Amino acid sequence: MTNKDVLKQEFDLLRTELISKYDELGMRASGKWADSLAVEVTDLTGVLKGLNYSEQLESGRGKTESGGDGSVLKAIEEWIDDKGIKPLEEKLSISSLAYLIARKIHREGYDRKEHGGLELVSSVITPERIQRIIDRVSEFNVNSFVSDIENIFKEFETA
């Protein structure tokens, strides 16, 4: 098994566990976040990429300073639709409900503690987990080095 194989195996497992935790915490709406998680590995590095709102899934969102460009409003409308949420009052449109939610987030922020929990990423990608991956890659390198040295000695024996 190569470094790249070890890293691919470990990062694929991280991806799977993040998606499981995401579902366990009830964070799934459209599933775009889970679908976006992608693993990229080389011989020496591993990267897990996802959508840019991963940070908000981890720790929520603070108050905002300005109204923004409308992208949050659009994202909230999509979220309402994905979750199948219906306004309590028939006269209230989805866009009006999204506006009210966006305004509340703008004024107060969004505390993940009250909506599915915190630490989606950090509960899976822990310092201990990172060390285990480093140890596995290091162990592979040491074993490979020892094997290479043994092969060199065997060549000397037969020469």
Single pTM value for the model: 0.73
Give the pLDDT score at 154.
61
**DSSP SS3 for 48:** strand
CB burial of 105-123 (b: ≥16 within 10 Å; e: otherwise) equals bbeeebebeeeeebbbbee
Task: Label residue 153 left, alpha or beta by phi (over 0 means left) and psi (-120 to 50 means alpha).
Answer: alpha
Instruction: Give me the pLDDT at residue 58, please.
Output: 81
pLDDT (0 to 100) of residue 97: 92
3-state secondary structure 37-105: CEEEECCCCEEEECCCCHHHHHHCECCCCCCCCCHHHHHHHHHHHHHCCCCCCCCCCHHHHHHHHHHHH
The reported pLDDT for the residue numbered 116 is 59
Distance CA 37, CA 120 (A): 13
Q: What is the pLDDT along the chain (159 residues), one digit of tens a residue?
A: 888 999 999 999 999 999 999 999 888 888 999 999 999 998 888 899 988 888 888 887 888 776 667 778 888 899 899 888 888 888 899 999 999 988 888 888 877 676 656 778 888 999 999 989 888 888 766 655 556 566 665 666 555
